[in-house]
Amino acid sequence: MSSSVQLFKDQKYQELKGQCIEQRRLFEDPEFPASDESLFYTRAPPRRVEWKRPKELCEDPHLFVNGISSHDLHQGILGNCWFVAACSCLALQETLWQKVIPDFKEQEWDPKKPEKYAGIFHFRFWCFGEWTEVVVDDLLPTMDGKLIYCHSNVKNEFWSALLEKAYAKLAGSYEALDGGSAADAIVDFTGAVAESVDLIQGKYREIISEQIKLFEDLLKVHTRGGLISCSITASNGSANEMETEMGLVIGHAYSVTAIRKVRLGERLILSFKAEKLFMIRLRNPWGKREWNGAWSDNSEEWKKVSNSERKRLGLTVENDGEFWMTFEDWCKNFTDVDICRIVNTSYFSIHKTWEKKMMHGAWTKNSEPLLNRSGGCFDNRDTFLQNPQYIFDVKKTEDKVLVSLQQEDRRRYKKEGRGESIPIGFEIFKVEDNRSYRLHKLTVQERVATSMYINTRTVFLKRVLKQGRYVLIPTTYHPGIITKFILRLFTDVPSKLRELKADKPKMTCWSLLCGYPRRVTQIKIHSAEGLQKQDRSGGADPYVLIKCENQKVRSTVQQDTTSAVFDTQAIFYRKNIDSPIIVQVWNSNVLCDQFLGQALLAASPGDPREQQTLQLRGRGSREAAEVPGRITVKVFSSDDLVEL
């Protein structure tokens, strides 16, 4: 077993199995006993539950019968359709389910070697950033000789029931799985990045262009191995598990098993054009009760599709819970979709490769403001910046950034009455290009992105950001909340994501010899205009260079202009406060860059904090000769090093 896999309850599968075989006994799990306490935490079972092994329920038990399929499993009396929907999705991807059910051939019953069977199985789940192995025995809860929870449509197949038991053990009990999110289960199965989309709020029902973009996005996710589920939120006048006129169940999780562009009519030789319909296939975890609208199993619309196309789609007309519908009808009937992306981080791939960084963090309380790490959302202006802060760089001119913030799984706390997820979210600010200490005040920083704040386990944001340095601040909605989180960031090129822990430069022995900063200065270069023309077309390729003591910050080059917008920020911790900050404007050339002018700034605490426009001058003192061009800046200085 890989050393990167953690052991739940420190139980070692091979060791336990070996002991059972040696002692010729079947495993009984002391960490998740076959008793009522593993079933419920708030009540007793309505009837007596008997725990039976598969061999007591059928003659020839197997983990899998004819492989694994999304049709294998059906929901029991537990309200965990979300888990069953996630399992249906998982069954579609062999590479994914083999991670969750490792060594499945070795775990399978072998009728030729019955003495090797020990009644023990193991499964793996992605728990809070780490793969965790869970061991279970094969004692399953039954009534009247039948499984009462998740079960296969084949009597002697048990992978789904055993997987559910392992997941219940992880959560603390079967009852802890009553109500949940398919996206959470899929993340636990795969380590995917989950995004929840509100189809109503996104106006996918009305705006066809948005509908098409969503279809293409879902098609790409599905094609690249991602998993998708959807549901209908109960509204006024409706209740969970109520059936709509079209046969869909409200408050019920469905798994998406296919997304296709379906060709209408017969395929003609030499014909490259054919009408195509955007279609989606869903599965009800109950294994019955299907959509009865257009393109349902027996509808007339299927006559528009050739026999070969129907065969390619795997169309069946059984009441097996699986059905097709147009993407337009899907958008109009469903309200929420959970998109779980398997983000590709492999360099050996024909698809886009993402650079991934993951950080483990926590919101913690402390009465000292500089040590407190639970400041609440942006509305809590006095404490917001007391939250954990993470810095990252966007190296390209523009880069698509994926951010996933996930809080710890709270199901295990349900027995204590605190099993609900906490409202969380995050903010992203564009900061100084050389910042390396925590933010203490928002002055020139631009707020470039805000996630939604919601009490789900994961909050996701997808955003295109411009080149520069950014600070990401994950928060709970209310201040003073204590809990753990993981933060995942995906970019096209390495982002160097890291936590900002220090508030100011550290005092060391060298500080006594070389001096310690006495002042902090923040400067933002807004623009430069009226610059001297440098080329035949009458333009220039200017950039800004900010110098302070031995440090330099350089902006990006603005092409072919004499009036450039820079939006460049820098922060300096200054030892020699009598030495001015120098802002220079240069013209970028292939062989040798050309100096266009500069401005000297005393940057004292008493200087104006408003935006100011300065005349450019030649090299030398503040009295150097004027040169063409002006630069607009905003400067803020303080002798308190934790002011900015």
Helix (H) or strand (E) segment spanning residue 208: helix 208-223
Q: Can you tell me the distance from the alpha carbon of 196 to that of 194, in angstroms, rounded to the nearest whole number?
A: 7
Q: Can you tell me the distance from the alpha carbon of 220 to that of 341, in angstroms, rounded to the nearest whole number?
A: 10
Is there a contact between 452 and 364 (Cβ–Cβ < 8 Å)?
A: no
Identified catalytic residue from 284, 333, 387, 587: 284
Buried b / exposed e over 372-407, threshold 16 CB at 10 Å, is: bbbbbbbebeebbbbbbbbbbbbeeeebebbbbbbb
Q: Can you tell me the distance from the alpha carbon of 244 to that of 84, in angstroms, rounded to the nearest whole number?
A: 21
Among residues 257, 369, 231, 362, the alpha carbon closest in space to that of 313 is found at 257
Helix (H) or strand (E) segment spanning residue 214: helix 208-223
Residue 599's DSSP bridge partners are 583
284 is catalytic: yes
Among residues 570, 565, 595, the alpha carbon closest in space to that of 581 is found at 570
DSSP secondary structure of 476-521: ESSTT--EEEEEEEEESS----EEE--SSPPP-HHHHHH----EEE
DSSP secondary structure of 304-361: GB-HHHHHHHT---SSSSEEEEEHHHHHHH--EEEEEE-----SS-SS---EEEEEEE
Who's near 497: CB < 8 A, 6+ residues apart? 357, 359, 390, 391, 392, 487, 489
Is there a contact between 85 and 182 (Cβ–Cβ < 8 Å)?
A: yes
Q: Can you tell me the distance from the alpha carbon of 501 to that of 384, in angstroms, rounded to the nearest whole number?
A: 15
DSSP secondary structure of 130-198: EEEEEEEES-EEEETTEESSSEESSTTB-HHHHHHHHHHHHHTSSGGGSS--HHHHHHHHH-PEEEEEE
372 is catalytic: no
3-state helix vs strand vs coil in the chain, percent to 5 = 20, 35, 50
Q: Can you tell me the distance from the alpha carbon of 435 to that of 522, in angstroms, rounded to the nearest whole number?
A: 10
What does residue 115 show for φ and ψ, rounded to 5 degrees?
A: -70, -15
Q: Can you tell me the distance from the alpha carbon of 140 to that of 57, in angstroms, rounded to the nearest whole number?
A: 10
SS (H, E, C) 1-46: CCCCCEEHHHCCHHHHHHHHHHHCCCCCCCCCCCCHHHHCCCCCCC
Residue 544's DSSP bridge partners are 585
Among residues 265, 237, 260, the alpha carbon closest in space to that of 250 is found at 237
CA angle 168–175–412, rounded 5-degree value: 60
* Burial environment of residue 307 by CB neighbours within 10 A (0 to 12, 13 to 18, 19 or more): exposed
Q: Which two tokens stand for residue 77?
A: 């009396």
252 is catalytic: yes
Among residues 15, 20, 11, the alpha carbon closest in space to that of 116 is found at 20
Identified catalytic residue from 71, 122, 222, 252: 252
Identified catalytic residue from 81, 87, 127, 548: 81
Which active-site residues does the annotation give? 81, 252, 284
